[in-house]
């Protein structure tokens, strides 16, 4: 008996001698009751396509710098504490990772782009920055394919004369290439975000995807193809997510082809959608009757909280991940010499009163909602890590420093 006990103790000792502090930390993160993911907009590094469209070494920092106050009390331009850094530099990416992980954030969801006439776009922030950072395993990452038309809104003119630089629709042939790249380049990364072991993949404009690829039948085959490739790579399948603003019966009427779904529920069921996320308050906030140019932050939050409850009532079988937005001010994307009045995006109202305290209260409300909802996975998505030109960012800024990040740590940190 003593020999058996001694043998067991030795085995346990050997096991723990091979478990690093990082492994233990990773296990703790896996066991967190809540997961906090934040959207990352990677337009703050030089990109060859931006060079073609805007000039050599252009980045969206130029739009941030050019912003001006458009009304009394308007806080523009925003001044980033870290300056106008290159996110594709792994040293800067490492700073971002540490700051996010230290303040209760678990995952960066990268806005990701691949167009039919340009190929990949803005990928180097992820591939040369985040994935090359020495501390990358402190944070998970995932993709939200932002498959919308890319319009020249850097900046946009008030007359709404949009220049379409590229289209969001793609062919079945291109999807074959894209889906393989996603699985091989990203899903196989050790810190890719998974839900129930399945790599998470989100599409921003599901209706654009369906119409471009040839209708609902072809779209179903396309998602099944991605799932099959994911399974062959050793995973139990793909966790397929879509954005909530297209879960709309009126928008579903835009679907083309025979057998097009009549309802959003039918569309999601056909595509075997497992979860739905909201990108920003603006998608579920009717500002048309508000007093331009400002709207209270609390008003946008209240309308979004109503949406949270309505979604889980209407679609009880689909996981919903609510959104908390830090703010909204798309005025930097408006031509600064044009008048500032209500019009199509980006000529939208500015949310005011979005202090770190108000943001913290919104986080607490979201936590309470998740507890009431009580799904298997309590996930919150935040807008945004660095949407500077939409007025929603968590990176340190001149006025409040890192106070928004500290609010996340207080509510959701370990």
User: Whole-model pTM?
Assistant: 0.92
Query: Is 28 part of a structural domain of the chain?
Result: no
Query: Is 21 part of a structural domain of the chain?
Result: no
Query: Is 8 part of a structural domain of the chain?
Result: no
Average model confidence (pLDDT) across the chain: 93
For tokens 């936590």, the residue is: 367
Query: Is 10 part of a structural domain of the chain?
Result: no
DSSP string covering 363-402, please? HHHHHHHHHHH--SSEEEEEE-SEEGGGTEE-S-BTTTBT
**Beta strand extents in 256-315 (DSSP E only):** 275-277, 294-296
Query: Once rounded to an integer, what is the mean pLDDT over residues 229-255?
Result: 98
Q: Specify whether the CB–CB gap between 128 and 88 falls below 8 A.
A: yes
Query: Is 238 part of a structural domain of the chain?
Result: yes
Q: What is the pLDDT of residue 20?
A: 36
Euclidean distance between CA atoms 21 and 143, whole angstroms: 28
Measuring CA to CA, which residue among 155, 177, 149, 132 is closest to residue 62? 155
> What is the percentage of the chain residues whose pLDDT exceeds 90?
89
Q: What is the pLDDT of residue 175?
A: 98
Q: What is the pLDDT of residue 414?
A: 67
SS3 168: coil
Task: Give CA angle at 376 (370, 378), nearest 5°.
Answer: 35
Euclidean distance between CA atoms 144 and 126, whole angstroms: 12
- Enumerate the H helices of 80-171 as residue ranges: 90-102, 124
Lowest mean pLDDT among 97-106, 162-171, 378-387: 162-171
Query: Is 340 part of a structural domain of the chain?
Result: yes
pLDDT over 90 (residue 366): yes
Query: Is 15 part of a structural domain of the chain?
Result: no
Q: What is the CATH number of the domain that holds 328?
A: 3.20.20.80
Q: Specify whether the CB–CB gap between 284 and 278 falls below 8 A.
A: yes
Q: Which two tokens stand for residue 400?
A: 């409040």
Count of domains observed in the chain = 1
Domain that holds residue 281: 36-412
Burial class of residue 393 (count of CB atoms within 10 Å of its CB; 0-12, 13-18, 19+): buried
Query: Once rounded to an integer, what is the mean pLDDT over residues 7-14?
Result: 36
Measuring CA to CA, which residue among 57, 41, 89 is closest to residue 384? 41
Q: What is the pLDDT of residue 2?
A: 39
Query: Once rounded to an integer, what is the mean pLDDT over residues 255-261?
Result: 94
Euclidean distance between CA atoms 224 and 141, whole angstroms: 22
Measuring CA to CA, which residue among 98, 85, 105, 35 is closest to residue 319? 35
Measuring CA to CA, which residue among 259, 248, 173, 165 is closest to residue 206? 248
- Note the Cα 86 to chain centre separation in Å: 20
Query: Is 24 part of a structural domain of the chain?
Result: no
Residues 6+ apart with CB under 8 A from 277: 202, 241, 242, 243, 244, 320, 321, 323, 381
């Amino acid at each position: 008996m003593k020999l058996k006990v001694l043998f067991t103790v030795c085995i346990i000792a050997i096991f723990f001698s091979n478990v690093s502090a990082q492994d233990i930390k990773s296990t703790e993160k896996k066991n967190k009751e809540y997961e906090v993911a934040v959207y990352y907009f990677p337009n703050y590094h030089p990109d060859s396509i931006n060079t073609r469209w805007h000039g050599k070494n252009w980045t969206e920092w130029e739009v941030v710098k050019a912003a001006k106050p458009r009304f009394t009390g308007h806080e523009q331009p925003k001044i980033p504490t870290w300056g106008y850094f290159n996110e594709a530099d792994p040293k800067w990416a490492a700073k971002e990772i540490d700051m996010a992980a230290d303040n209760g954030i678990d995952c960066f969801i990268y806005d990701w782009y691949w167009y039919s006439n340009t190929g990949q776009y803005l990928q180097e922030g992820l591939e040369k920055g985040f994935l090359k950072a020495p501390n990358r395993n402190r944070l998970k990452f995932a993709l939200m394919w932002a498959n919308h038309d890319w319009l020249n809104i850097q900046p946009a003119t008030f007359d709404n004369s949009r220049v379409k630089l590229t289209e969001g629709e793609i062919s079945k042939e291109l999807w074959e290439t894209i889906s393989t790249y996603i699985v091989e380049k990203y899903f196989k990364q050790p810190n890719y975000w998974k839900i129930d072991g399945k790599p998470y993949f989100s599409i921003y404009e599901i209706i654009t995807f369906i119409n471009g690829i040839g209708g609902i039948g072809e779209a179903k085959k396309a998602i099944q193809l991605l799932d099959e490739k994911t399974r062959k790579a050793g995973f139990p399948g793909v966790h397929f997510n879509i954005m909530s603003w297209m879960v709309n019966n009126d928008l579903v009427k835009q679907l083309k082809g025979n057998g097009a779904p009549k309802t959003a529920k039918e569309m999601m069921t056909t595509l075997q959608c497992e979860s739905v996320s909201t990108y920003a308050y603006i998608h579920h906030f009717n500002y048309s009757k508000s007093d331009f140019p400002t709207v209270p932050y609390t008003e946008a939050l209240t309308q979004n909280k109503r949406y949270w409850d309505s979604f889980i009532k209407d679609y009880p079988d689909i996981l919903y991940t609510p959104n908390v937005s830090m703010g909204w001010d798309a005025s930097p994307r408006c031509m600064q010499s044009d008048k500032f009045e209500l019009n199509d995006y980006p000529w939208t109202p500015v949310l005011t009163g979005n202090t770190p305290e108000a943001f913290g209260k919104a986080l607490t409300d979201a936590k309470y909602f998740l507890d009431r909802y009580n799904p298997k996975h309590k996930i919150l998505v935040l807008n945004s890590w660095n949407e500077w030109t939409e007025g929603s960012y968590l990176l340190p800024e001149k006025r409040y420093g890192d106070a928004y990040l500290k609010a996340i740590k207080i509510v959701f940190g370990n």
